[in-house]
Copies of this chain bind each other. A is one copy, B any other.
């Protein structure tokens, strides 16, 4: 990608690079709001909160360690901890030390939490279709997955303890 001015490239962007960057930045600045608005209106959930519930609902026993859950939901452990506290107050999940290793905390989805995510899922899926999937081709979808895999940067908080993605 670089044009030969050193290993890092010049301190400015080529037109092609700028176009890619402009596109990407518009995605990351505008999409969160678009995708979150329906969830907020219908279920009072942020996108990250929905992902937390969703990951839990798909896990065996509806239980995941906090650090693993943060990784799966694409957030920091700190962010997850704050969300977990709110969810606990709403009765949507419980936390308990992992019996196998007290250093870990296992988050468990309650029935009420499961009901919440089940109720919110259609809204979320519709938003994903309306905002994204209905506008891109299958090849575009594969490109998104490919780029994301290449950029898969995880929070420094917990980049360790997980050797690789196997992606």
Contact = CB atoms under 8 A, between A and B. Distances in A.
Interface in A42-80: 47-48, 51, 74-75
A131 B144 contact: no
A41 interface: no
Contacts of A47: 25, 29
B148 A135 contact: no
Given A11-B125, A128-B21, A142-B20, A30 B147 contact: no
Given A125-B11, A138-B16, A21 B132 contact: yes
Interface stretch (A89-97, A99-107, A108-116, A151-159): A151-159
Nearest to A10: B125
Contact of A75 (B11, B29, B31): B29
Contacts of A51: 25, 29
A25 B23 CA distance: 15
B136 A151 contact: yes
Contact of A22 (B25, B134, B145): B145
A31 B20 contact: no
Question: Chain B CB within 10 Å — which of A31, A132, A149, A154 has the most?
Answer: A132
Contacts of A31: 24, 28, 151, 153
Contacts of A26: 74, 148, 152
A88 B131 CA distance: 35
Contact of A11 (B35, B122, B143): B122
A121 B18 CA distance: 13
B20 A133 contact: yes
